[in-house]
Amino acid sequence: MSPTGILLIVLAYFGLLIFISYLTSGKGDNATFFLGNRQSPWYVVAFGMIGASLSGVTFISVPGWVGSSQFSYMQMVLGYLLGYLVIANVLLPLYYKLNLTSIYSYLDGRFGKVSYKVGAFYFLLSRTIGASFRLYLVAMVLQFAVFDPMGLEVPFWLTVVLTITLIWLYTFRGGIKTIIWTDTLQTAFMLLSAGMTVYFISSELDFNFSEAVAAIDASEYSRVFDFDDWRSGSYFWKQFFSGAFITIAMTGLDQDMMQKNLTCRSIGEAKKNMYWFSLVLVFVNLLFLGMGALLYIFAQQKGIDIPVKADQLFPMIALQSGLPAVVGLFFILGLIAAAYSSADSALTALTTSFSVDILGSTEDKPISKKHRMMVHLGFSALLVLTILIFKSLNDDSVISELFVAAGYTYGPLLGLYAFGLFTKWQVKDAWVPLVCLLSPLLCYVVKLNSDVWFAGYQMKFELLILNGFLTFLGLFLLRKKF
């Protein structure tokens, strides 16, 4: 597919998103921007959350990850189900009962202002890093597939700026109300892209559906469960419980994901959304893993060299392997849809959290629309800077890096909420920042030395659990009776 064609697809796609923004943004006031006036249908939220949860990281990195990890990622996906069950029955009822706009307001009432600000800070840090990982992929593919082949000497930083500017244009007015509907469109494009890619690659390999499934099952890539070595990074129980806690932290304690749920009309609809969304997500992840296996099988049969960075396998085959042009078309649409369905809501959630948690916007005393837009623009600039820093450091599959980073930044949130929900103790609020700083530092030291200290044990995604436990323990040491 020609670079000019790809560029036209990108521009047409964003024209459609801006049109949807125009139809849905309404007054563009804070009630619309932050909570969509609490009028979102649960089934629309559930479908849109699929794209927001998967993102461009799943779209590119999960298929690429199959080469080194086979289908072991499904062990984490099964753990997600347990995590979503906790969110639906513990966290969502709490958020609705307290009528929260920012979920971190809970920490203010439970512990005090300092804990509240610490919780909000760790979300802002976590989501800035997460959104940057995701947007990095889009910028990388645009550079690789559009600007470089056209011979345009477009620096990577300008590609990043253009990418984020497009997001800002369709989110700055309607916020979460617009995103609920654009995410629905983007999820549809992402799933259509994955399905069509599987279809066309299977056709090139002369497979029908049952033959494609059989080929994947017979390949070296189809192994799901690892019960062999408890020290291994892919050991089942490590990945299963890591998946559960990653879900609780990165969805249930994340303003970005919970903000969508809080736009539902009632707690009953929000829980219904969570149940259906979690079940569908299992099959969607299986689709992406199957697509990854087919990509490797296709590369082997056609004599295509596997790129050093696994994240580049899917774009290379879709755009440069001689497959029909329609494969490239669906790839670009799917990538943009997957990446932007998470990045746009992240930008809105960052703006919401900073406005409510840091600037103190409330329903009675809201910040002005002008100040909210300045915050929105400021976080756009911060994402640009973070992406450029990440580009200079990245040396592994992005999804792996994303979950490792989450272990450091979401751990304090996990510990704070666990202590608040499951104990009756109060803490010395002023000392909470020290605990939330020391816990990630101790985790970093443990991760560096786990091989030596624990007989070859490989510390990976369960880092989040350790971080949350250390934060909980630190809060226990700071406890004071009511």
CA dihedral sign of residues 253, 254, 257, 263: positive
Please tell me whether residue 75 adopts helix, strand or coil conformation: helix
- Cα gap 338→48, rounded to integer Å: 10
The answer to whether 432 touches 114, Cβ cutoff 8 Å, is: yes
pLDDT in tens, the chain (482 residues): 566 777 777 788 778 878 877 777 666 555 556 655 566 777 777 777 776 676 656 677 778 778 777 888 889 899 999 999 999 999 999 999 988 888 999 999 999 999 999 999 998 888 888 778 777 777 776 776 667 776 667 788 888 888 788 777 777 666 667 777 777 877 888 888 888 888 888 888 888 888 888 988 888 888 888 888 777 777 888 889 888 988 898 889 988 788 888 878 889 888 988 898 889 889 888 888 888 888 888 888 877 777 777 767 787 888 777 778 788 787 877 777 776 766 777 788 888 888 888 888 776 677 777 888 888 888 889 988 888 887 776 554 555 555 566 678 888 999 999 999 999 999 999 999 999 999 999 988 888 888 888 877 777 777 888 999 999 999 999 887 65
| Structure confidence at residue 451 (pLDDT) | 80
Alpha-carbon distances, residue 199 vs 127, 212, 215, 350, 366 (angstroms): 34, 9, 14, 38, 50
Per-residue DSSP letters for 356-374?
Answer: IIIS---SSSPPPHHHHHH
Nearest to 331 by CA among 52, 149, 137: 137
Q: φ, ψ for residue 261 (rounded to 5)?
A: -65, -35
- Cα gap 114→122, rounded to integer Å: 12
Q: What is the dihedral of CA 116, 120, 123, 128, to 10 degrees?
A: -160
DSSP state at residue 148: T
Element (H, E) at 332: helix 325-353
Strands 426-427 and 479-480: antiparallel
- Cα gap 346→367, rounded to integer Å: 20
The ranges assigned to domains in the chain are 3-394
Per-residue DSSP letters for 205-248?
Answer: TT--HHHHHHHHHHSTT------S-TTSTT-HHHHHHHHHHHHI
Element (H, E) at 427: strand 426-427
Alpha-carbon distances, residue 375 vs 30, 369, 477 (angstroms): 13, 10, 37
The answer to whether 257 touches 176, Cβ cutoff 8 Å, is: no
Q: 38: Cβ–Cβ under 8 A, 6 or more apart, which residues?
A: 262, 263, 264, 265
Q: Give residue-wise pLDDT tens across range 427-464.
A: 999 999 999 999 999 988 888 888 888 877 777 777 88
Q: Which residues pair with 427 in a beta bridge?
A: 479
Q: Which residues pair with 426 in a beta bridge?
A: 480
| Structure confidence at residue 400 (pLDDT) | 56
Token pair 């800077």 is found at: 385
| Structure confidence at residue 34 (pLDDT) | 61
CA dihedral sign of residues 416, 417, 419, 425: positive
The answer to whether 243 touches 406, Cβ cutoff 8 Å, is: no
| First vs last C-alpha separation in the chain | 66
Residue 316's identity, in one-letter code, is: M
CATH number for region 3-394: 1.20.1730.10
Long-range contacts of 454-458 (CB under 8 A, 24+ apart): 454/231, 455/231, 456/231, 457/230, 457/231, 458/231, 458/232, 458/233
Nearest to 271 by CA among 45, 38, 32, 35: 45
| Structure confidence at residue 17 (pLDDT) | 78
Q: φ, ψ for residue 226 (rounded to 5)?
A: -130, 105
Please tell me whether residue 262 adopts helix, strand or coil conformation: coil
| Structure confidence at residue 427 (pLDDT) | 92
